[in-house]
Amino acid sequence: MPTDSHTPPAEGSRIELDGQGRLVVPDRPIVCWLEGDGIGPDIWVAARHVFDGAVASAYGGVRAIAWMEILAGGKAHAEAGEWLPQGTLDAIASYRVAIKGPMTTPVGGGMRSLNVALRQRLNLYACIRPVKYYRGTPSPVREPEKLDVVIFRENTEDVYSGIEWEAGSDEARRAIEFMRSEFEADIRPGSGIGIKPMSEEGSKNLVRKAIRHALDNDRASVTLMHKGNIMKFTEGAFCAWGYELAREEFGDVTLTETELWDGHGGELPAGKVVMKDRIADAMFQQLLLRPSEYDVIATPNLNGDYISDAAVAQVGGLGVAPGANMSDDVALFEPTHGTAPKYAGQDKVNPSSLILSGVMMLDHLGWSEAARLIERALEKTLQAKTVTYDLERQMDGATLLSCSEFGRALVDNMEN
Ligand code: NAP
């Protein structure tokens, strides 16, 4: 298979954008897929069976995905001697929607991580993690169904920028000396130094995407989660820029909590979204104690990393949670777990994280009938306690299925 130029499937057409930057999806859209390493091939086979089954069942053959394989990771390295061929990046940018399996970080491959490289080179600035409960999943809390949030995590800035110097290094010593001489900042000698850059542009891009999602999906609120009481000019600025953007670009459809209570007695007018903000530590408590008060959360990179996993644990979904990374015009969907190399090729692991990432993808395409079919089939399968090993070991009286059997069970459980 060529990795620098891809031959699109003859029966498919390209997904285009309209004048407002919204997707125009043909009945046979070309969607790129990257198999991934380790358990990637196992979960891809199961998941694709589910995607194709749901689309066929929902649209009776009128719509179908024209899959186009592109390469990255171990498969690209084996076939083309490169971990992340430029042709793969070009194909994702050009066809706009892709779904991938997990990928091994190449040792000595000249990059920190393939996933980070993909995000940076395609400017996928928003990491999106929907967190909700599927009945039948074992959960550590009493009412997991009360949590239903979508987390928008900024993906390119914050302490993840990679600008840091080890304690005792020449760079750290010079940075400490510079801070002392230029700003009279007193940093303990011998400290390690890390930089936390956060921009107005990066913050506003993320908050804009979160507000649009809330409006498009009839969600009541967007909460800006930040630690601005301590980090005023990064986290605090994120919050201020978020409110500013809501006023400037969505002034007619957003209101603040004060406006909601003073002007509307706490009753949200139809079609409007309330903007809230919460300090990061309080947000963790709120998701446990008052989960139903939150819909969409927009937050900088590090907070987003923490709150995503904490929230997912609440619904019992650690390891089966879906995710997507998006720019303004490209969306890359992926499971949140890694390559689990010890299970590779055993047809054993749970394909739900990739399947639910596909549910996000179908919603992104506007094919929500097929997406809901999969979600209902998943709940039916979980409630029947027919599950893969990871859930079987947490349930009494469950039937153990292989990865591919689980995919087939979902298709069998689809009800139009
Ligand atoms: P991992 O691959 O997520 O596996 C850790 C453990 O999580 C597994 O041993 C298994 O636990 C459980 N698990 C993961 N996926 C599962 C599934 N689909 N079904 C059931 N259980 C599952 O994490 P890792 O071992 O730290 O990372 C391995 C490699 O993956 C590394 O090279 C890392 O860089 C890469 N990685 C890639 C991505 C990505 O591509 N987005 C993300 C994270 C890590 P039990 O053994 O307890 O059953």
Residue-wise pLDDT for 29-68, tens only, equals 999 999 999 999 999 999 999 999 999 999 999 999 999 9
Beta-carbon neighbour count of residue 400 at 10 Å? 15
Q: Name the pLDDT band for 1 (thresholds 50, 70, 90).
A: very low
Q: DSSP code of 366?
A: T
Give me ligand 1 centre to Cα 350, in Å. 11
Give me ligand 1 centre to Cα 23, in Å. 32
Give me ligand 1 centre to Cα 318, in Å. 11
What pLDDT, on the 0 to 100 scale, is given for residue 5? 61
Its pTM stands at 0.93
N residues, the chain = 416
What pLDDT, on the 0 to 100 scale, is given for residue 61? 93
Q: Does residue 339 have its Cβ closer than 6 Å to ligand 1?
A: yes
Can you tell me the mean pLDDT for 377-394? 95
Name the residue with the closest Cα to ligand 1, atom 44. Answer: 338
Residue-wise pLDDT for 305-359, tens only, equals 999 999 999 998 877 899 999 999 999 999 999 999 999 999 999 999 999 999 9
What pLDDT, on the 0 to 100 scale, is given for residue 4? 46
Name the residue with the closest Cα to ligand 1, atom 48. Answer: 390
Q: What percent of the chain has pLDDT over 70?
A: 97
Query: Which positions ≥6 away from 258 have C-beta within 8 Å?
Result: none
Residue-wise pLDDT for 71-89, tens only, equals 999 999 999 889 999 999 9
Ligand 1 mutation target, pool 34, 118, 339, most atoms within 8 A of CB: 339
- Catalytic annotation, residues: 160, 227, 281, 305
Q: Does residue 357 have its Cβ closer than 6 Å to ligand 1?
A: no
81 near 92, Cβ under 8 Å? no
Backbone angles phi, psi at 246, to 5 degrees: -60, -45
Q: Does residue 40 have its Cβ closer than 6 Å to ligand 1?
A: no
**Degrees (nearest 5) of the Cα angle 222, 302, 104?**
115
Give me ligand 1 centre to Cα 339, in Å. 5
Label residues 183-211 b or e (16+ Cβ within 10 Å = b): eeeeeeeeeebeebebeeebbbbbbbbbb
Name the residue with the closest Cα to ligand 1, atom 39. Answer: 102
Query: Which positions ≥6 away from 13 have C-beta within 8 Å?
Result: 26, 28, 29, 30, 66
